[in-house]
Structure 1
């Protein structure tokens, strides 16, 4: 069995590799080739532990992720999200690999947003507003900057020191935050308010632990694209219901969304929208069953709660490349 650490995975997986893996994951998920049970939740004293198995029938990937979400870890300087992914042989069930789940979660979540941005956002949009200065905020900045030229990146967080620290850290290596074909480094700064962050921003990422909307509807730029990935429980939301009502809403998986996505569940419960607010799954666009773009709506909103199909797809991509490069540790099992 091969064991891959964070550093192994970061060496093995490029932004393009990750986005292509998400194309496979969402395509199979919406095409009926993936078997993905609704994830199991276990609440403990300090957080939530999730069990997420999946089988990708088209590509043959089989595995599961166990991940913990412990928000209090931040105060102790530990990652709030930690976990592991195990890959199994689809023919025998034998364990093939154990991979760092924390880095894979960061990469695959950002890559899902990267794919959604490719398929839904204005290709000319080059100002990115990011709500949240944690691991997902950083991962989204790094991946989106590798996928398209960005002129400016604005970060807003509570408390504001997090945004300031992340902006300073990324500014030091701004030259690396460009697509492979090159370009000018983006200006990166902390924004004092949501309104300041959103002014002129055609791309928005919400990656927070907030239980209430992180911006007011009037501050969102017309025709903006939002990747909303922070809220994953029925009582939490980052996006105002008015924006949900005015957006073309694309999701990762309908079944999981109606179990977990407070951004949509609360809007339905409050009578702002109906369950038909979801226009399509992202995989339906990948498979050509739905169109990309904004259509006749004011905004586009990609709402994702995460799927084990993503975890297995990115783990398979990481393992394949790691085997080619001789990365990781091979141990008897």
Structure 2
């Protein structure tokens, strides 16, 4: 069994390597080759954090077998200099069921989420899209800039964060690490004005963007609001967009953005045009035209973590990295 810490996961499984793996993960999920229940969330009364588990099984010739992600979320962690999400991904040998990998879940989540957004962008955004707005300045904001840079030529990048200090640090990081010039702006509307690519990566509980804020032809990767009590888009923004999701079941049960549109009667369940995997499988044509606004609502799926776990373990073994240990 290999133990892969954060640095090792980042080294062996960069977003460029994760993008094709995540495209295949979405095809397998929508093609019926992944078995997974809705994630289980434990949120005790009086406790600021929560514990989530995402078990499942993936079929296929490669990156297949049982796996599970277990992750705790502590809102106080960023102020402590720690990740918001803490946990592990475990993957099991498909033949013997012996554990073959134990990985830092925060690192896996950062890269797999951004890689799926890259797949969605490459599939749903206009080919000439390159004016990028990012809301948020944390781990996902950084990984999403890397991911967008992989699939589109970026002409302009703007970032907004509730913390001006964090936004400035993000700008400096982008220049030093990626050679990308990022403009810091004062608000969400200023960030997305004229943008044809938008990534929302916050944990906001109140909407940040309305339909009027989004330019014709824009594509939005709505990533941050991954619980029913979180929202980044107004109900009107969701209702007026062409809506694509990672999983119909998860989106209808867990997305605060989508549930608000349904609860307010602005959209029905049939407003979900397709799962991303259905578009990749050729079962749906994707965006209807260049002026359409498309939204990809990302909640995260166990199949993404499981296939990422197997892919990272394979890469680490090939490079002689990771710590080996035996459970007995």
Class of the TM-score when normalised by the shorter of the 2 chains: over 0.9
2:248 to 213, 238, 254: 254
Q: CA deviation at 1:27?
A: 0.7
Change (3 A) 1:191 1:294: farther
Match of residue 146 from structure 2: 142
* 1:52-201 mapped onto 2 (5 Å cutoff): 52-59=54-61, 60-175=64-179, 186-201=180-195
Query: Matched residues in 2 for 1:138 and 1:130: separation?
Result: 9
Unaligned runs of 5+ in 2: none
Structure 1 portions without partners, runs of 5+: 176-185
Cross-structure match for 1:27: 27
Q: Tell me how far 1:61 sits from its aligned partner.
A: 2.8
Kindly state the Cα deviation for residue 155 of structure 1 after the two structures are TM-superposed: 0.8
Does 311-320 or 191-200 show the bigger shift?
Answer: 191-200
1-10 vs 287-296, which moves further: 287-296
SS in 1 for 2:296: strand
> Residue 42 of structure 1 corresponds to which residue in structure 2?
42
Q: Provide the aligned C-alpha RMSD in A.
A: 1.4
Contact 1:121 1:294 in 2 (8 A): no
- Within the alignment, does 1:278 sit opposite 2:272 as a pair? yes
Instruction: Provide the TM-score with structure 1 as the length reference.
Output: 0.93
Runs of 4+ in 1 over 6 A off after TM superposition: none
Aligned length: 323
Counterparts of 2:28 and 2:289, CA distance in 1: 24
Deviation at 1:311, TM superposition (A): 0.2
| Aligned twin of 1:2 | 2
- Looking at structure 2, the residues matched to 82 and 294 of structure 1 have their Cα atoms a distance apart, in angstroms, of 39
Q: How far apart are the structure 2 equivalents of 1:219 and 1:258?
A: 24
SS of corresponding position for 2:132: strand
